[in-house]
A and B are shown apart, each in its own frame.
Chain A
Amino acid sequence: MTREEAKFLLRAYRPDGQDAGLPEFARALEWVDQDPELKQWFESENAFDRAMVTKVNQEKVPEDLLASILVANKVARPPRTAWTLGGVKWAVAVVFAGAILMTALKGRGNDDLAPFRSDVMAHLKVPGHQFDFEAKNFSELKSWMDARDVKMDVGPIDHLTSLPTHGCKIMDWGGQIVTLICFELPDRRNVHLFVFHEMQMADPKGLEEPLWREEEGWTTVGWTTGSDLFMLAGQIPKQDLRQYL
């Protein structure tokens, strides 16, 4: 190693000594100890870099930046980008008009799920949304939700969990958490499961029987178990979807 080669290396050496343990610098640093001219250069270089580090790290940051980042996170929405996966264009609801469902369920008790179903269908048909998390199996999705203290219990349709998955989404619906998981059926078609845990309903008993609807190539089925509301939706015939209940 020549003196110039040592200089070249040592210009990448951070002046506070953080890089002292990196073997790449070891030989150059040995040279520093042996070569007075190089040592003088290195000290000068370090002093210059230290002065720069001080100045650069004193640059003022806008006072409101921290607050704006933290606030933005609280009202965060997914990026508005179209998204395709495996050639399938996904249309996943992001934000629903939750109040519609809440009002309908609270007020009508044993009515069917028409308002909700209609809302889900409208949003499923809108392209350009993303999953919050993508994974190929349910357990990974559940772990991700567990880490966020989001309940994901698919008790009555536990058998679905053996299917491959594409991803999940957590939505805030009028202050309530709604989760969505997208499963892939053996024939590669997809089925979306919406789960509302501890739904506030006036009379959930009236919704215990599955309520089916087929329209425009989509099949939806919704039902409640206790205070949990489930809905499956997919572009598959009713008879095909029925086997997954």
Chain B
Amino acid sequence: MTAAIKSEKTFEEIVQQHYEALYRFAHSLSRNANDACDLTQQTFFLWASKGHQLRDKSKVKSWLFTTLYREFLGIRRKQTRFPQVEVEQVEHVMPSISPNMVNELDGDTIVDLLHSIEETYRVPLTLFYLQQHSYLEIAEILNIPIGTVMSRLSRGKSQLRTLIRSHDSGGIKKKIVPMNPEAPGNMKTGNGH
């Protein structure tokens, strides 16, 4: 709309500031680049139409991440019911991983490994590593208790280390079952664009 274009002088600035982190978060959620783009775009679409209702402008970042996460949950609810899968218990013991092991892996591999983590732990861990949010903000975005965030970060790191070590020792053992192995790429935001 003409008016919207005229009015949202800060829209572009907000997009510039947050779109990369939002995309990475969306990618972690959906594990599909196209879906991540759709989610990111939908989030900014919602910001353009509803963002003005946010009175505390210091909460823009949280608003965007919360909105994206809710959009993801909403879309997923509409998809075919996921088969229940048993996720193999991962020992809650931190495998010893040196930072060099991380540094030696290329970025895509690290992202793939991160995406292999069970969703419950992957989501807060991605927010944590995006350096955008404190554990308090993560609790707010995901609407879970603070203690739960800490617990999930701890377990998520444990899973990540296990995966890195497995990869480093010659191949990932498929300990973590993808949440939705059948339908990557099926997600539609339905925003009409």
Question: Hey, what's the 0/1 contact readout for B1-22 against A, CB within 8 Å counting as 1?
Answer: 1111111100110011001110
Indicate if the CB atoms of B157 and A66 lie closer than 8 Å: no
Check A55/B111 contact, CB under 8 A, given A12-B149, A69-B19, A72-B193.
Answer: yes
Check A65/B40 contact, CB under 8 A, given A76-B48, A170-B3.
Answer: yes
CA distance A150 to B192 in the complex (A): 26
CA distance A51 to B151 in the complex (A): 21
Check A150/B7 contact, CB under 8 A, given A61-B23, A70-B12, A133-B52.
Answer: yes
Question: Hey, what's the 0/1 contact readout for B97-120 against A, CB within 8 Å counting as 1?
Answer: 111001101011011001000000
B84 beta carbon closer than 8 Å to chain A: no
Residue in chain A with minimal CB distance to B103: A51
Residue in chain A with minimal CB distance to B105: A55
Indicate if the CB atoms of B44 and A69 lie closer than 8 Å: yes
Indicate if the CB atoms of A175 and B2 lie closer than 8 Å: yes
Residue in chain B with minimal CB distance to A50: B99
Q: Smallest Cβ distance from B119 to chain A, in angstroms?
A: 16
State how many residues of chain A have any CB contact under 8 Å with chain B. 53
Indicate if the CB atoms of B3 and A62 lie closer than 8 Å: no
Q: Smallest Cβ distance from A28 to chain B, in angstroms?
A: 11
Q: Which residues of B contact A50 (CB under 8 A)?
A: 99
Q: Smallest Cβ distance from A14 to chain B, in angstroms?
A: 6
Indicate if the CB atoms of B150 and A12 lie closer than 8 Å: yes
Indicate if the CB atoms of A52 and B110 lie closer than 8 Å: yes
Complex interface residues of chain A between 63 and 117 (CB less than 8 A to chain B): 65-66, 68-70, 72-80
A22 beta carbon closer than 8 Å to chain B: yes
CA distance A55 to B161 in the complex (A): 14
Indicate if the CB atoms of A72 and B44 lie closer than 8 Å: yes
Residue in chain A with minimal CB distance to B134: A19
State how many residues of chain B have any CB contact under 8 Å with chain A. 60
Q: Which residues of B contact A16 (CB under 8 A)?
A: 131
Q: Which residues of A contact B20 (CB under 8 A)?
A: 61
Residue in chain A with minimal CB distance to B27: A59
B126 beta carbon closer than 8 Å to chain A: yes
A58 beta carbon closer than 8 Å to chain B: yes
Indicate if the CB atoms of B27 and A69 lie closer than 8 Å: no
Complex interface residues of chain A between 131 and 159 (CB less than 8 A to chain B): 132-134, 144, 147-150
B24 beta carbon closer than 8 Å to chain A: yes
Check A12/B128 contact, CB under 8 A, given A69-B41, A148-B7.
Answer: yes
Indicate if the CB atoms of B107 and A59 lie closer than 8 Å: yes
Indicate if the CB atoms of B192 and A172 lie closer than 8 Å: no
Check A148/B6 contact, CB under 8 A, given A72-B44, A76-B45.
Answer: yes
Complex interface residues of chain A between 44 and 61 (CB less than 8 A to chain B): 44, 47-53, 55-61
A34 beta carbon closer than 8 Å to chain B: no
A199 beta carbon closer than 8 Å to chain B: no
A9 beta carbon closer than 8 Å to chain B: yes
Q: Which residues of A contact B102 (CB under 8 A)?
A: 48, 51-52, 55
Indicate if the CB atoms of B126 and A56 lie closer than 8 Å: yes
Q: Which residues of A contact B40 (CB under 8 A)?
A: 65, 69
Q: Which residues of B contact A48 (CB under 8 A)?
A: 97-99, 102, 161
B179 beta carbon closer than 8 Å to chain A: no
A177 beta carbon closer than 8 Å to chain B: yes
Indicate if the CB atoms of B110 and A177 lie closer than 8 Å: no
Check A57/B99 contact, CB under 8 A, given A68-B37, A133-B53.
Answer: no
Check A72/B105 contact, CB under 8 A, given A12-B150, A57-B130, A61-B20.
Answer: no
Indicate if the CB atoms of A56 and B129 lie closer than 8 Å: yes
Pairs A–B under 8 Å by Cβ, sample size 18: A8-B150, A9-B150, A12-B135, A22-B136, A52-B110, A55-B107, A55-B111, A56-B24, A56-B126, A57-B129, A61-B19, A65-B37, A69-B44, A73-B15, A77-B192, A148-B4, A170-B3, A170-B4
* 4 additional A-B residue pairs with CB within 8 Å, beyond A73-B5, A148-B8: A18-B134, A52-B110, A79-B46, A177-B3
The 5 A-B residue pairs with the shortest CB-CB distance in the complex, in nearest-first order: A148-B7, A51-B102, A170-B3, A55-B110, A47-B99
